[in-house]
Amino acid sequence: MKNKALLLVWSALVTIVLLASLTFARQGTGLIGKDFSDSNDMKWQLDEFYDVIGPSVLNPINIEEAKKKITVSDDEIERHRYRYGTLADQLSNIHDQYAQRIADAKDAGNELLQSSLIEERDMKLEDIRKNFEQDGHVEAKIRKGKEKVLENYLNEVKNKTYSLHVAYKLKNVETGETFSKGDISKPAVYKKNFNANSNYFKASSLPGRYSEWTTTYVKYYEDDYVSDEEITAMANPVQSFEGVVIVPKAAFEKGGALYAQYKDFNRGKYGMYAFWALGLLALIALLTVMKFRKEWVTGTPIADWYSDVKIDVKAAAFFMSALILVESINSKSYNLLNFFMQQRLESWVIWLGTIFFGGVLMTALLAFQLVNSVERWKREGMFAKDVKNSFTLQFLRAIREMFLKRSIGVQSFILLIGFFLAGIGFVGGFIAPFLFVVYIACVLFLGLPALYVFIRRSAYLNRIIVATEQMASGRLNEDIKIEGRSPLADHAKNLNNLREGVRVSMSEQAKSERLKTELITNVSHDLRTPLTSIITYTDLLKDETITPEERAKYVDILDKKSQRLKTLIEDLFEVSKMASGNLELHKQRVDLTQLLQQALAEHAEEIAESGLDFRTTFPEDMLIAYVDGQRWWRVLDNLIVNAIKYSLPGTRVYVTLRKVGESAEFVVKNITKYELGENVDELFERFKRADTSRHTDGSGLGLAIAQSIVDMHGGRMKIDLDGDLFKVTVSVLTK
């Protein structure tokens, strides 16, 4: 609280210094050592006297002589003649004016009124006819009107008075005629001599400073007017006068004509002296006991809040505060002298209130803003950060982003300019009726169509927003309607694509969850089956009563189940390494024909026992490809084993290796013993078997491993199903 009080005191002292300095610069030379006779008010009254004395006293225009110089032009005659329309229009208008009144007088039986109205009507009708028949008739009426206007004007000029109490004695240099008022021998506060040495007084017939007012007065009077050229032609030549003009000292004394003004001037002058002394004391205090301390405006809750304000808002607030302070000090410096002269309590209350708000508070606010901003920007990088986060840069970025879609940016810009010009046009329509007609045309043919397009686009945007909200809530079945070819239509199309992608993604996610569950179930089953057998037969071997034949049989079963479990785990690790990308390939030149022959030869015994008829087709020459021989052999082996296990007994299996373009293509076709679904992709999934009962040997990873190896070689593996016909095609580049 103490800091706030000290800040306000400091601000008040600064305001006093500023106001005192400005008033001293503006009014010091006009007040220090000066009297009322040297004041601007006195000079203004003397100028008024010299301006009025010529046309009203020394060199007035003779009214009768001026009337003789009035002229009437042909244009004025025509303008007067057709002032109320054509002859027919004017005659008809007069008849209409009197018809009802004459009829009413007749109905009332008032013959005198009736005859008077008829006579008056006929006189006006005759006057109108003469207007169109005789130019002289019209000219006489115009001249009479001008004479009346001129007479009123010249009488007004002659009767002009002035407020200054002046005594003078002036003699016309050419005619010797003397004009005087008051006693010029009395003591004077102002005295001016006019003679050949100090220049004669030049008396004009027309007022100078009131020429605009008098011209306006002369020009308009019942549509008859005297032009500027005519008035100038009627003026007398400028006359030269010699003599003396004084303002008596008695006019400044109590009871004199200028005593009140003299007293007010002195009161204001000494009041300004006192205020300038106060300003000097305030300056001394600011330099000694009231030096500014930044603790007055820092470390407060409002200072913490101000630190988070955007820098351009700070700049705008600082500019407005400075503007209010400058305007307040500037305006108050002009009328401070008047306040000292008047000394009215209500005026002082208003003046002090405005100077407190516009001066003291704005000074305190400027100090607060300046100190807190400087303290903040002393920290490294803070100024650049504030500039980066400013509304101005955000606005500029928004303008740039508004034109990311050029058509939307251009349309929005045109609409903004259009609405701005519409406001200007609406105001201009009240100034000039013609502009209002243009404005209405622009509204009908430009504004309303643009507004129609804007409203339609806004409605379409709202529909897109509502549809997007529905998508966000999970309703993905309904497409957004695409209207036209605007950027909004493109946006709707993209949202539809996104909706379809989300729908597919959700479907895939559901499928993935289902397959994950199946995977866990299948892995558990495939691992548990051999493990259960191993546990069971291990317990049986613990029985000492079993025969050696039984023991050998149990050991053989344990060996098979262990190998089965080992193969399953190895395949699982193999797939895991492939999926994680940790499996390295060692590519070299490999003859794929020889590799396939070796794979078939290794399973020749199983093929013979299966009862299947393998039909093979090989290229006549070597088919060389750069592959990892061990891994590629695994692909061939898995596909051959898969055909042996799942082909219908007694059917043929076709194995083909051929070169197709730049690729080697390996194809296996067989008739499956199990019914397969239509979803081919599921066959590539881990632990997926054609034997859903899972009674056959195998890990269910054969096709998945083969697919991964092919993918690592940049090849392609494809499965086709046609009923029970199962076909696998593997291709890899030979170069």
- pLDDT tens-digit map of 21-53: 999 998 888 888 888 888 888 888 888 888 888
Dump pLDDT digits (tens) for 384-431: 888 888 888 887 777 676 665 666 666 666 666 766 666 666 666 666
514: pLDDT strictly greater than 50: yes
Contact predicate 282/20, CB 8 Å: yes
Residue 99 confidence (pLDDT): 92
Residue with the bigger pLDDT between 631 and 488: it is 631
Question: What percent of the chain shows pLDDT beyond 90?
Answer: 23
Mean pLDDT, rounded, for 146-166: 78
Averaged over 587-612, what is the pLDDT?
88
Higher pLDDT, 79 or 450: 79
Question: Beta strands of 439-480 (E only): which ranges?
Answer: none
Comparing 358 with 680, which gets the higher pLDDT? 358
Q: For 306-313, what is the mean pLDDT?
A: 88
Confidence class of residue 687 from pLDDT cuts 50, 70 and 90?
very low
Mean pLDDT of 162-166: 74
Work out the pLDDT band at 210, boundaries 50, 70, 90: very low
Give the model confidence (pLDDT) of 713-735 as tens digits: 889 999 888 888 989 999 998 87
What is the mean pLDDT of the segment spanning 660-688? 71
Res 569: pLDDT: 74
Mean pLDDT of the region 642-656: 90
Q: Which residues pair with 168 in a beta bridge?
A: 181, 245
Residue 657: which residues within 8 A CB-CB, separation 6 or more? Answer: 592, 593, 596, 617, 618, 619, 623, 664, 665, 666, 667
Of residues 79 and 229, which shows the higher confidence score? 79
| pLDDT surpassing 70 at residue 1 | no
C-alpha 542/C-alpha 548 separation (Å) is: 13
Question: Does the pLDDT at position 213 exceed 50?
Answer: no
Type of residue numbered 354: T
Give the per-residue pLDDT at 634.
Answer: 83
HSE on the CB side for 657, CA within 13 Å?
A: 22
Q: Which residue has the higher pLDDT, 492 or 102?
A: 102
Residue 249 has pLDDT above 70, yes or no: yes
What was the pLDDT predicted at 276? 94
What pLDDT was estimated at residue 522? 57
Q: Indicate if the pLDDT at residue 432 is higher than 60.
A: yes
Whether residue 656 is predicted with pLDDT greater than 90 in this model: the reply is yes
CA trace torsion 367, 371, 373, 375 (10° rounding): -170
Beta strands in 182-251 (DSSP E): 188-194, 201-203, 239-248
Location of structure tokens 């306040």: 339
**Mean pLDDT, range 262-266, rounded to an integer:** 87
Q: Is the pLDDT confidence value at 613 over 50? A: yes
For the chain, give every domain's residue range: 2-33+272-391, 36-257, 403-472, 584-733
- pLDDT of 695 reads 44
Quote the pLDDT of residue 290. Answer: 92
DSSP notation for 37-92: GGSHHHHHHHHHHHHHHIIIIISPPPHHHHHHT----HHHHHHHHTTT--HHHHHH
Determine the residue type at 171: K
Q: Which of 62-76, 173-187, 302-316 has the highest mean pLDDT?
A: 173-187
Angle (CA) 29 32 33, round 5°: 120
Helix (H/G/I), strand (E/B), else coil: 171: strand
Q: How far is CA 383 from CA 267, 302, 367, 668, in A?
A: 53, 20, 19, 72
What's at 708, amino acid-wise?
A: S
pLDDT confidence bin for 277, thresholds 50/70/90: very high
683, 676 contact by CB (below 8 A): yes
User: What is the predicted pLDDT for the residue at 684?
Assistant: 45
Q: Which residues of 464-498 are buried (b: 16+ CB within 10 A; e: fewer)?
A: beebbeebeeeebeeebebeeebbbbebbeebbee
User: Residues of the chain with pLDDT > 70: what percent?
Assistant: 79
Please say if the pLDDT value at position 435 is more than 70. no
Q: What is the pLDDT of residue 434?
A: 65
Residue 696's pLDDT band, with cuts at 50, 70 and 90, is very low
pLDDT of residue 698: 46
Q: Higher confidence at residue 224 or residue 15?
A: 15
Residue 215 has pLDDT above 70, yes or no: no
> Strands 178-181 and 588-591: what pairing?
unpaired
Task: Measure the CA–CA gap between 170 and 176, rounded to whole angstroms.
Answer: 10
Spatial contact of 259 and 252, defined as CB atoms under 8 Å apart: yes
Cβ(499)–Cβ(476) below 8 Å: yes
Residue predicted with more confidence, 490 or 362: 362
pLDDT for the residue numbered 161:
66
Mean pLDDT computed over 523-535: 71
Query: What integer pLDDT is reported at residue 216 of this predicted model?
Result: 42
Q: Which residue did the predictor score with more confidence, 7 or 691?
A: 7
Question: How does DSSP classify residue 685?
Answer: S
Dist CA 267 CA 339 (whole Å): 10
Residue with the two structure tokens 């008396």: 203
Q: How confident is the model at residue 63 (pLDDT cuts 50, 70, 90)?
A: confident
pLDDT band at 553 (very low <50, low <70, confident <90, very high): confident
- Mean pLDDT over all residues of the chain? 81
Amino acid making up residue 93: N
Q: Phi/psi at 634 (nearest 5 deg)?
A: -65, -40
pTM of the model: 0.52
Give the model's pLDDT for residue 338: 81
Kindly report, residue by residue over 438-458, the tens digit of the pLDDT: 767 776 766 677 777 777 767
pLDDT of residue 690: 41
Average pLDDT over residues 246-261: 86
Instruction: State the DSSP H helix or E strand holding residue 721, giving kind and residue range, or none if neither.
Output: strand 716-722
Contact 125, 88 (CB under 8 A): no
End-to-end CA distance of the chain: 88
Query: Is a pLDDT exceeding 70 seen at residue 312?
Result: yes
CATH fold label, 584-733: Heat Shock Protein 90 (3.30.565)
Q: What is the pLDDT of residue 651?
A: 92
Under DSSP, the state recorded for 404 is S
State residue 657's pLDDT score.
Answer: 92
Give me 36's structure tokens: 């009322």
What pLDDT is recorded for position 658? Answer: 92
Is a pLDDT exceeding 70 seen at residue 104?
Answer: yes
Q: Which of 282-286, 349-353, 525-529, 706-710 has the lowest mean pLDDT?
A: 525-529
Please state the rounded mean pLDDT for residues 103-117. 91
Q: Which residue has the higher pLDDT, 258 or 506?
A: 258
Give yes or no for residue 509 having a pLDDT over 80.
Answer: no
pLDDT of residue 573: 67
Mention every residue, 6+ apart, whose C-beta is less than 8 A from residue 491.
464
> How many whole angstroms separate alpha carbon 703 and alpha carbon 696?
15
Mean pLDDT of all residues in 4-29? 91
Region 513-522: what's the mean pLDDT? 60
